[in-house]
Amino acid sequence: MTAFAAPIAAQIWDMKYRFKQADGTPIDRDVTDTWRRIAKALAVVEKDPAAWEEKFYDALSDFKYLPAGRITAGAGTARSVTLFNCFVMGTVPDNMGGIFDMLKEAALTMQQGGGIGYDFSTIRPKGAAVHGVAADASGPLSFMDVWDAMCRTIMSAGSRRGAMMATMRCDHPDVGDFITAKSDAARLRMFNMSVLITDPFMEAVKADGPWDLVFDGKTYRTVQARELWDAIMQSTYDYAEPGVIFIDRINQMNNLNYCETIAATNPCGEQPLPPYGACLLGSINMARLVSDPFGDGAALDVDAMADLVATAVRMMDNVVDTSRFPLAAQAQEAAAKRRIGLGVTGLADALLMVGLRYGSEEAARQTDQWMHAIARAAYLASVDLAREKGAFPLFDADKYLASGAMQNMDSDVCDAIRQYGIRNALLTSIAPTGTISLYAGNVSSGIEPVFAYAYTRKVLQKDGSRTEEEVVDYAVQMWRDLKGDAPLPDYFVNAQTLAPLDHVRMQAAAQKWIDSSISKTINCPADISFDDFKEVYMAAWDQGCKGCTTYRPNDVTGSVLSVSEDVTPSERPDQMRDGDNGSEVIYMSEPLDRPNELEGATYKIKWPESEHAIYITINDLVIAGHRRPFEVFINSKNMEHFAWTVALTRMISAVFRRGGDVSFVVEELKAVFDPRGGAWMQGKYVPSILAAIGGVIEKHMVAIGFLAGEGMGLKSDPQADVVAMNGKPRGKACPSCGSYDLRMVEGCMTCGSCGHSKCG
């Protein structure tokens, strides 16, 4: 017997959450050990740790309460990592020293495993005067490039790349450049980006009025608000970014609007946070709380959910006291406000179990009622904690109860808060739950609809072989277990078939009772008209959402996983052209064989202060008339270079021979900085000899048509023919497990096979 509902769940646990020694030897023997480890670690601050450990263990068992990955992987391990998922960093000063102080803080935070958000609106626009040095400012986008390079070099908590969110106000003079920055497929790849939309701007859009772009009290130019809005919409339509954040609404509805101002969010957008704000996340698994699923008496057990919510709130409050923090300012901010972000997962599955069609008006009403019950239970639990342990230090009853979010709360809850205080300033948030949803048996993630009823997954085994298995949605598997081969009812819908405005309806229904925000992706069909696409965002604004993120498959961003009701293998468009130069890149799924003869070119690098030159030979393979780099040889008479040039030769050649998109080699090499200093070469500053080699490889790739031009790496750019060895079309492989199963989940490309995501 196993606690896991599906093989994928056990694999996710073993890969991401199982506590192991440094050599890989398991410490957690099974998932019950993981639950026990977490429960014990979070109960240690209680007056009666043993009693609360059992209560916490019961909440975790059977995957009813799902702490976010940071807590599940780190609690009770004594590892030097933060248990908080996300941070917004300090306000970026408009001076060089302050900017790079912030860069250092970002690196330290990501090193311990935190995703971060930044508002770059505080940096003066490009071309503005820099007093005292007789120069013009390079603008916020140039400094975002620096952050992006830093993020590529930091392995977040030793296991994944860091994730970042960049925001910019809609009235910043450089907002136009910000909007179109991600149209360059090689730029700002480590950022999610969102425009901070104000209420006056939306009023000007609706009135088709003028809009001033201002910095530090100076108006740089005036544009038509509707034209700027359309520019945001066009970029999002074409490139899936930027998102929009309704920042005035966020601040108006913030429980703490009397003591903080928010200008940024965490990478996935569900946590608007003040400078140095931090938040931990966790989710109630609603799919585990439905009694008599698909039966005549199917219903969600609201009493059991309220009890589970109360336990979860207590566990999350204890994390504030047990977690490490990368920076002292983050610890102080967390202690002063004790913010938590309790959300849900499995909502769509729960709706299916009680016979409701996700996106319908009835499902929205039910979602409203369930979210109300969760909010009520969470706030009352936090009041009880305040009676026992004290309110959060910055609590002010009159100001707190006058905040926007409290206007919807039940009067008896408000009365209790006024009498006893509240332990946690904010309590609810709906986060991306892609990985923990797989871990819990492939329940629907967050408040998203079911993505796919079933799909075929390739599993990489320890011996290097691959096996295939079917991964089935939790509710669909339950239907099969109960009903056998009976066809799925017509109220079963998925993300591929749902109308965009149905997505908005569900997001708005949940937002009413969420005091932070919601991470949700609104899937739009590729052929949606631009006017209908814009209507999605206007509907989100009109219905009270705090932000909006869409995903529309297109020639730039590619296509998400294509699915059907029965078996849903990964399918991709078999023709995706590089629109810039007409060149085609062949993506291969198996290692390439070396013919006896290859064509290539040799390049010479003379690094300053080096006695001998370095010679780089790059040979190409021709497939279907198209050239792609196949191997590299790096030679030098300087024996100081011998070991690393041989190693680099072998590693790069091995990568090239795997096929697929190998342009990331250029990106990674060019990002290497030598602490001893770089050199000026052909009028450009090159930060290291390795960066110089990367530049040579890039030059060669451009020459053979593999890249469109300098800086046009295709690391995540699918503008190419997608060709597998068996002739079936495929997309880009997952960088973690190699499977062809990437999909857009809550604004981030996420692997359906292993759960890998840039956003964690």
Q: Answer whether residue 678 shows pLDDT above 80.
A: no
What pLDDT is stored for residue 24 in this prediction? 81
Q: Answer whether residue 4 shows pLDDT above 50.
A: yes
730 confidence band (pLDDT: 50, 70, 90): very low
572 confidence band (pLDDT: 50, 70, 90): very low
- Domain ranges for the chain: 110-252, 586-722
Q: Which residues sit opposite 246 in a β-bridge?
A: 197
Q: Which residues sit opposite 681 in a β-bridge?
A: 684
**What is the DSSP secondary structure assignment for residue 172, as one 8-state letter?**
S
Peptide bond between residue 242 and the one before it cis (omega within 30 degrees of 0): yes
Q: What percent of the chain has pLDDT over 70?
A: 84
Q: Answer whether residue 590 shows pLDDT above 70.
A: no
Identify which has the larger pLDDT, 751 or 290: 290
Q: Which residues sit opposite 221 in a β-bridge?
A: 213
Residues 6+ apart with CB under 8 A from 84: 70, 114, 278, 279, 280, 319, 323, 325, 330, 334
Residues 6+ apart with CB under 8 A from 43: 49, 50, 52, 53, 56, 318
Instruction: For residues 219 and 163, give the distance between their C-alpha atoms in angstroms, rounded to a whole number.
Output: 33
Structure tokens at 488: 């799925």
Q: Answer whether residue 148 shows pLDDT above 80.
A: yes
**What is the DSSP secondary structure assignment for residue 148, as one 8-state letter?**
H
What pLDDT is stored for residue 746 in this prediction? 55
> β-strands 86-88, 278-285: how paired?
antiparallel
Structure tokens at 197: 């939309």
Instruction: For residues 718 and 722, give the distance between their C-alpha atoms in angstroms, rounded to a whole number.
Output: 8
Q: Answer whether residue 272 shows pLDDT above 60.
A: yes
Structure tokens at 693: 């080699």
Q: Which residue has the tokens 């990674």?
A: 668
Q: Answer whether residue 306 shows pLDDT above 50.
A: yes
Among the ranges given (76-80, 289-293, 354-358, 657-661), the one the predictor scored with the smallest mean pLDDT: 657-661
Q: For 274-289, b where at least 16 C-beta lie within 10 A, e where not — what string?
A: bbbbbbbbbbbbbbbb
318 confidence band (pLDDT: 50, 70, 90): very high
Structure tokens at 308: 């589970």
What pLDDT is stored for residue 739 in this prediction? 58
Q: Answer whether residue 353 shows pLDDT above 70.
A: yes
Q: Which residue has the tokens 């130069």?
A: 581
Is 333 annotated in the active site? no
Instruction: For residues 730 and 740, give the distance between their C-alpha atoms in angstroms, rounded to a whole number.
Output: 7
Structure tokens at 49: 């740790």
Q: How far is CA 658 from CA 242, 654, 733, in A?
A: 33, 7, 11
The values of phi and psi at residue 425, to 5°, are -65, -45
Q: How far is CA 286 from CA 63, 313, 382, 407, 664, in A?
A: 10, 16, 21, 26, 40
Instruction: For residues 63 and 292, give the distance between their C-alpha atoms in angstroms, rounded to a whole number.
Output: 18
Instruction: For residues 50 and 59, give the distance between their C-alpha atoms in angstroms, rounded to a whole number.
Output: 15
725 confidence band (pLDDT: 50, 70, 90): very low
Residue among 268, 748, 751, 754 flagged as catalytic? 268
The values of phi and psi at residue 287, to 5°, are -65, -20
Q: Average pLDDT of 261-278?
A: 93
Residue 501 parent element (H or E): helix 500-511
Identify which has the larger pLDDT, 154 or 202: 202
Among the ranges given (190-199, 319-328, 598-607, 637-646), the one the predictor scored with the smallest mean pLDDT: 637-646
Residue 291 parent element (H or E): strand 290-291
Structure tokens at 672: 């290497």
Q: Average pLDDT of 16-29?
A: 89
pLDDT digits (tens, 9 = 90+) for 394-438: 999 999 999 988 999 999 999 999 999 999 999 999 998 888 998
Q: Average pLDDT of 115-141?
A: 88
What pLDDT is stored for residue 579 in this prediction? 28
Q: Which residue has the tokens 């792609």?
A: 628
Structure tokens at 303: 């009493």
CA angle at 354 for the pair 351 and 360, rounded to the nearest 5°: 50
Instruction: For residues 235 and 229, give the distance between their C-alpha atoms in angstroms, rounded to a whole number.
Output: 10
Does residue 241 sit in helix, strand or coil? coil
Q: Average pLDDT of 18-33?
A: 90
Q: Average pLDDT of 523-543?
A: 95
The distance of Cα 734 from the centroid of its chain, to the nearest Å, equals 15
Identify which has the larger pLDDT, 2 or 181: 181
Q: How far is CA 162 from CA 92, 142, 433, 470, in A?
A: 19, 19, 17, 31
Q: What is the mean pLDDT of the chain?
A: 84
Structure tokens at 680: 């000026």
Among residues 219, 161, 218, which one has the least CA distance to residue 192?
161
What pLDDT is stored for residue 724 in this prediction? 34
3-state helix/strand/coil string of 614-626: EEEEEEEEEECCE
Among residues 443, 728, 705, which one has the least CA distance to residue 570?
728
Q: Average pLDDT of 585-590?
A: 37
Long-range pairs, 472-475, Cβ under 8 A, ≥24:
472/6, 472/442, 473/349, 473/442, 473/443, 473/444, 474/5, 474/287, 474/346, 474/349, 474/440, 474/441, 474/442, 474/443, 474/444, 475/287, 475/293, 475/348, 475/349, 475/352, 475/353, 475/443, 475/444, 475/450
DSSP string, 58-90: HHHGGGSEEE-HHHHHHTTS--S-BS--EEE-P
Is 270 annotated in the active site? yes
Is 524 annotated in the active site? no
Structure tokens at 354: 């009680």
Instruction: For residues 332 and 326, give the distance between their C-alpha atoms in angstroms, rounded to a whole number.
Output: 11
Residue among 53, 105, 270, 448 flagged as catalytic? 270
What pLDDT is stored for residue 91 in this prediction? 94
Q: Which amino acid is at 508?
A: A
Instruction: For residues 528 and 61, give the distance between their C-alpha atoms in angstroms, rounded to a whole number.
Output: 43
Q: For 514-524, b where at least 16 C-beta lie within 10 A, e where not — what string?
A: bbbbbbbbbbb
Identify which has the larger pLDDT, 681 or 43: 43
Instruction: For residues 614 and 573, give the distance between their C-alpha atoms in angstroms, rounded to a whole number.
Output: 42
Instruction: For residues 325 and 109, give the distance between their C-alpha atoms in angstroms, rounded to a whole number.
Output: 8
Residue among 251, 266, 318, 424 flagged as catalytic? 266
Question: How many CB atoms are located within 10 Å of the residue 564 CB?
Answer: 14
Domain 586-722 sits in CATH 3.30.390: yes
- To the nearest 10°, report the CA torsion of 541, 542, 543, 547: 0
Among residues 448, 493, 488, 466, which one has the least CA distance to residue 746?
448
Instruction: Classify burial at 355, counting beta carbons within 10 Å of its beta carbon; exposed 0-12, middle 13-18, buried 19 or more.
Output: middle
What pLDDT is stored for residue 688 in this prediction? 85
**What is the DSSP secondary structure assignment for residue 274, as one 8-state letter?**
-
What pLDDT is stored for residue 712 in this prediction? 57
**What is the DSSP secondary structure assignment for residue 326, as one 8-state letter?**
S
